Structure 1
Amino acid sequence: MSGKIVLHYLNGRGRMESIRWLLAAAGVEFEEAFITKKEQFRKLADDGVLMFQQVPLVEMDGMKLVQTKAILNYIAGKYNLYGKDLKERVLIDMYTEGIAELMESIVLLPFIPPDNKQKQLDNIERKAKDRTLPVFEKGLANTQFLVGSQLSRADVHLLEVTLMLQEIFPTILSTFPKIQAFQERMKALPTISKFLQPGSARKPPPDEIYVKTVMDVFSHLFK
């Protein structure tokens, strides 16, 4: 049983989606145990498996892993997606931290009150165009991958966030040809191509049902 990977989260993107992406890119199969009710979350907390009373929770290699960054670091290290040495690793970390900041804004978007949503959309678009995407366009100027000569978690996260951006702003990559070419190369990788197909574990953009489930399951956090 120790070889089975189980993801505990809601049936939606949130902070688990990058974990799904990274496992899929590594060609690793996993199962999902969806949290749909507050009682399920409370049971995990009461059982003592949530170190900081938070999900994502990943059962893997006989461990119960929490904290998104720690989980991603472990997966990347285990499946050779974290560079060949410390210098590559720190560059990967720099890229992924920049991506995570932008992704967090997108993940929170469905929970923004309607009267503030346009302001948040404008902030996301401006940050992406002016700060984030130019970094990656430059980073991909003369190389196939962001760091070194092989796929890393930075590449996987960049593909994920740019696809998310295009869902909101369809033409946002029109002035970033290197990123567009990068996307096509990444989509052609067999494991990623499989994850992009209908019926995979990749989750769709959040809808009203997902937002309501999040609010119900974590209602104690909104009091």
Structure 2
Amino acid sequence: MGIKERKEKHKEDLRQRILDAAKELFLKDGYDATSIRKIAEKIEFSPTTIYLYYKDKADIMYALHQEGFKLLSGQFLVLQHVHEPFERLKAMGRVYMNFALNNPDFYELMFIMKEPIEFVKAHCQGEEWEEGEQAFSSLTMTVEHCKAAGYFTKFDTTTFALNIWSLMHGLCGLKLQGHLDHMASTKVELFEGGDLMEVTFAGFVKMLEGLK
């Protein structure tokens, strides 16, 4: 590895350390309580060093937001090879659930905390919100393909896709915040022999199947 390559690797490694430290602090202490100085202290660098990479903490938050969407979009991309559209839709739901459960930190930054979307509204006006558009367009395209196969024909594509996302987000949010597990523990007689998240998802899929 040459000098130029080593310098580039050092920059990327430091950029990742900044993002990792910021993510931990944002989720632990909250966005408002996290400062550039605190992030710098965590990685044992000066605040000036961080400003070489990011102009402020909102810029860091948005970079984390983008990183999470890249992970999710990459997992959705694999599903393009599932040709039967309804099977692809079910697979998308499962991928979304698994992403939330396996990456709860990113999920909170992407879909629960308000600061990233406030950054989008403030800085992406008149421009396409690329990472969000790509994720949602994957869903709307799949819903459109399902309609061509005879599913959901009485519904508007975008509205129906938004309803699907809303339900999946609600399910994942309830799970991550502990509400779903609490429900399972207090209603044991209703959910014996199955994971409540899986039972709920299966019920949602069955409902969608009935809309053909």
TM-score (norm 1): 0.30
- Higher strand fraction (1 or 2): 1
Structure ID, larger Rg: 2
- Higher helix fraction (1 or 2): 2
TM-score (norm 2): 0.31
Structure with the larger RCO, 1 or 2 (CA within 8 Å, 6+ apart): 1
